[in-house]
Amino acid sequence: MAAPTQSEIDLLAAAPVPAGKLLINGQWLEGEAGETQVLSPINGQVLTTTATASQADVARAVAAARASFESGLWSRMAPAGRKAVLHRLADLIEKNSLELAVLGVRDNGTDIGMALKAEPGSAAGTFRYYAEAIDKVYGEIAPTADSILALIHREPVGVVAAIVPWNFPLMIGAWKIAPALAAGNSVVLKPAETASLTLLKLAELALEAGVPPGVFNVVTGPGRVTGEALALSMDVDVMVFTGSGPTGRRLLEYAARSNLKRCYLELGGKSPNVVFADAPDLAAAAKAAATAIFRNAGQVCVAGSRLLVEASVHDEFVSLLAASAAKMPVGNPLSLATQIGAVNSETQLLGNLGFVADAVKDGGKIVLGGRRALVETGGYYMEPTVVTGVRPEHRLYREEVFGPVLAVTPFADEAEAVRLANASDFGLAAGVWTANLGRAHRMVRGIRAGVVHVNTYGGADNSVPLGGVKQSGNGHDKSLHALDKYTDLKTAWIQL
Ligand code: ADP
């Protein structure tokens, strides 16, 4: 798609947003539990409403998913057939990409430049990746005795429930929905209450692409109502989730209290970005470190939120970083000039400011930002914030802010760098900056995380898995490994 102009964006942003409904069995329905107001973080004003799905609505959605799965219309369709439908869906996402991006920005506050790339752009690519993958996944023949033929089949698991967050709803939604559908499952999706609109549009496009009714259902509403009902369902086979640690823990409890559904959780991080004095280019590393934490106002699960810097270059690096961050414009996310858009909600903004206040009480020093940013639209914004002198015992070191707040800590040598990097309950992502090849590999081995970037931060591709260790969760999104969550192995043991 050609780069959009500001006036194309403004035109779409002025359009009224129709009220969101539930999609159950191919029908758009009101929610039995009423509706939820959607506030735009750009200006704090009501954007539209979404339907609130009751427990009964959720049960109907799960029943529709089960019935569609049992019908075999999708689950037993030849993989090449599902592939054609998912490619059509990717085409439709691309065709509607500007509309989807603008709608998403109005709903969650991500800056439009990032939304275009990370939301429709990435979602279309993810649907294509799994569309292409699924007719190339084979079963196995086990090396058993000659008198036996043991076949290992890969089958869809049945009904998949996906609960997703508000920071990148389309991208993260697609990471779950695309492999689940490609493998032949039926899906019930629960978007975040502050970012449902693009996923409702995706569902509309899925129907248009030919995903049969009941195979992809969407129930909107608050986590404690709609999400809880879905997670407590006795007929969901697999639950996939991206969100906060406390909700992840609840999902495991709900699984234990209901049908022991398998739960795969991606629970964020407190990812260390480790800069050695021998980094190939300190200025480039500082710019990347600023981007690693401040893009999307820090609302990125893999954000490099702990900066560990070798003591000998600490002051120089912090000045370079602060100078770089100060140049990132905070403002209306619908403007093409903006690099740091809105914080998703007032609650989130107040939480971010609370972290900064606690860090200062703990002895941290604010070297940049630290305050709410005032933007002419109103709404919820925050200055990019850098706090130095943060120690492992401080709250800002240990807990995920999910906002534009960077904690900086010096280290003396490689051994201390590894120790500090691993001094966290999380283990999602990390970065290492060094020109020493041996050290780079030692750091990759030493840091416990799902991904370690070297001399860059945050690069990704559908071909590589994303998942956490420790309390960052379990299971992987993306790559062929994601299919493990959405398929069961079945052995056929045949006496010859
Ligand atoms: P965040 O802090 O990113 O908002 P949450 O874990 O609260 O993270 O939200 C992620 C998703 O989990 C959202 O779709 C939200 O509605 C859902 N959610 C929140 N609480 C629950 C719950 N008790 N049961 C099921 N889903 C929930």
Closest residue by CA, ligand 1 atom 24: 228
Closest residue by CA, ligand 1 atom 15: 223
CA gap 444, 227 in Å, rounded: 37
Domains, the chain, ordered by start: 6-267+473-495 (3.40.605.10), 272-461 (3.40.309.10)
Ligand 1 atom closest to the CA of 193, numbered from 1: 16
> What are the tokens at 171?
């991208």
Q: Which of 216, 122, 113, 217 is nearest to 169 (CA)?
A: 122
Give residue 272 CA to ligand 1 midpoint distance, Å.
Answer: 25
Give residue 123 CA to ligand 1 midpoint distance, Å.
Answer: 21
At residue 35, the 3 state secondary structure works out as: strand
CA gap 428, 425 in Å, rounded: 10
Ligand 1 atom closest to the CA of 164, numbered from 1: 14
Quote the pLDDT of residue 261. 98
- Catalytic residue from among 119, 193, 228, 266: 266
Element (H, E) at 188: strand 186-190
Quote the pLDDT of residue 460. 85
The sheet carrying 22-24 orders its strands as 27-29, 22-24, 216-218, 186-190, 159-163, 238-242, 262-266
Give residue 366 CA to ligand 1 midpoint distance, Å.
Answer: 31
CA gap 152, 155 in Å, rounded: 10
* Residue labelled with tokens 């639950």: 239
Ligand 1 atom closest to the CA of 344, numbered from 1: 4
- With the most atoms of ligand 1 within 8 angstroms of its CB, the residue from 236, 247, 347, 472 to mutate is 247
**Contact by Cβ (8 Å): 314, 368:** no
CA gap 34, 28 in Å, rounded: 14
Q: Which of 177, 206, 199 is nearest to 85 (CA)?
A: 206
Give residue 48 CA to ligand 1 midpoint distance, Å.
Answer: 20
DSSP code per residue over 196-248:
-HHHHHHHHHHHHHTPPTTTEEE--S-IIIIIHHHHT-SS--EEEEES-HHHH
Give residue 127 CA to ligand 1 midpoint distance, Å.
Answer: 24
CA gap 171, 91 in Å, rounded: 16
- With the most atoms of ligand 1 within 8 angstroms of its CB, the residue from 38, 50, 163 to mutate is 163
**Contact by Cβ (8 Å): 58, 32:** no
Closest residue by CA, ligand 1 atom 16: 223
CA gap 242, 249 in Å, rounded: 12
416 is catalytic: no
Which residues contact ligand 1 via a Cβ below 6 A?
163-165, 190, 192-193, 223-224, 227-228, 231, 243-244, 247, 250
Closest residue by CA, ligand 1 atom 21: 223
Closest residue by CA, ligand 1 atom 23: 224
Quote the pLDDT of residue 338. 96
CA gap 403, 426 in Å, rounded: 17
**Contact by Cβ (8 Å): 297, 329:** no
Give residue 141 CA to ligand 1 midpoint distance, Å.
Answer: 41
Cα four-point dihedral sign 460, 132, 112, 348: negative
Closest residue by CA, ligand 1 atom 20: 223
**Contact by Cβ (8 Å): 194, 165:** no
Quote the pLDDT of residue 1. 65
CA gap 434, 87 in Å, rounded: 41
Over its length of 496 residues, how does the chain's per-residue pLDDT go in tens digits?
678 999 999 999 999 999 999 999 999 999 999 999 999 999 999 999 999 999 999 999 999 999 999 999 999 999 999 999 999 999 999 999 999 999 999 999 999 999 999 999 999 999 999 999 999 999 999 999 999 999 999 999 999 999 999 999 999 999 999 999 999 999 999 999 999 999 999 999 999 999 999 999 999 999 999 999 999 999 999 999 999 999 999 999 999 999 999 999 999 999 999 999 999 999 999 999 999 999 999 999 999 999 999 999 999 999 999 999 999 999 999 999 999 999 999 999 999 999 999 999 999 999 999 999 999 999 999 999 999 999 999 999 999 999 999 999 999 999 999 999 999 999 999 999 999 999 999 999 999 999 999 999 998 899 999 999 999 999 999 999 999 999 999 999 999 9
Q: Where are the alpha helices (DSSP H) in 309-467?
A: 314-326, 346-361, 395-398, 414-421, 437-446
CA gap 456, 279 in Å, rounded: 11
Strand pairing of 306-310 and 238-242?
Answer: unpaired
Give residue 348 CA to ligand 1 midpoint distance, Å.
Answer: 13
